Structure formats: C-alpha cells, structure tokens
Amino acid sequence: MSEVIRRTVTIRNKLGLHARAATKLAKLSHQFDAKVTIVQGDQRVDASSVMCLLLLASGQGREIDVVAEGKDALVAVDAIANLIESRFDEAQ
C-alpha cells in the first residue's frame, strides 16, 4: 500500500481556481504516477479533471488540501502546491 501525502495550501491568485488555473493544475497532475485529489471542506475532486476543479469554485483566500497516493505522491503534492503558491504563474 502506498503512502498518502497531504498538504494544505491557500489559493493566492486574484481570480482563484478559474479555467486557466484549473487547466494548469489538471495538466500538471497528469504528469505523475499518483492519484491526486483536491479537498475543499466536504468536497473531494479528482485533480486531473478541469470540470471537477471548476465546480469547487475556489476563490482567493480559500484553503484546499492537495492529497496524493501512489509512487510519485510526494513529488506530485510538492509540484501542485508550488503551482498554487506561485499564483498559477499569474501576475496577481
């Protein structure tokens, strides 16, 4: 059984988890041999699905958990947390 890695991060970019940001996150999650999930409150969605990510409606200042299980779980969580913390490479 593989280890589950979890990290809490705060959405920092002005527009939150909008379409472009969700697409970047989903594409990034596909790069790893791990099942990545985003948890916000009672909602748990597949990080590789843009539509599911958009349904979270995560705005600026919201805390989410990045959870991964699998061979690349640690590097997946690190990479996704870095993307979120860097504001999805957006100016604001």
Contact 56, 11 (CB under 8 A): no
Give yes or no: 18 in active site: yes
Name residues whose C-beta falls within 8 Å of residue 72's C-beta, 6 or more positions apart in sequence. 32, 33, 34
Q: Tell me the C-alpha distance between 58 and 34, whole Å.
A: 23
Active-site residue (options: 18, 20, 35, 87): 18
Catalytic center residues: 18
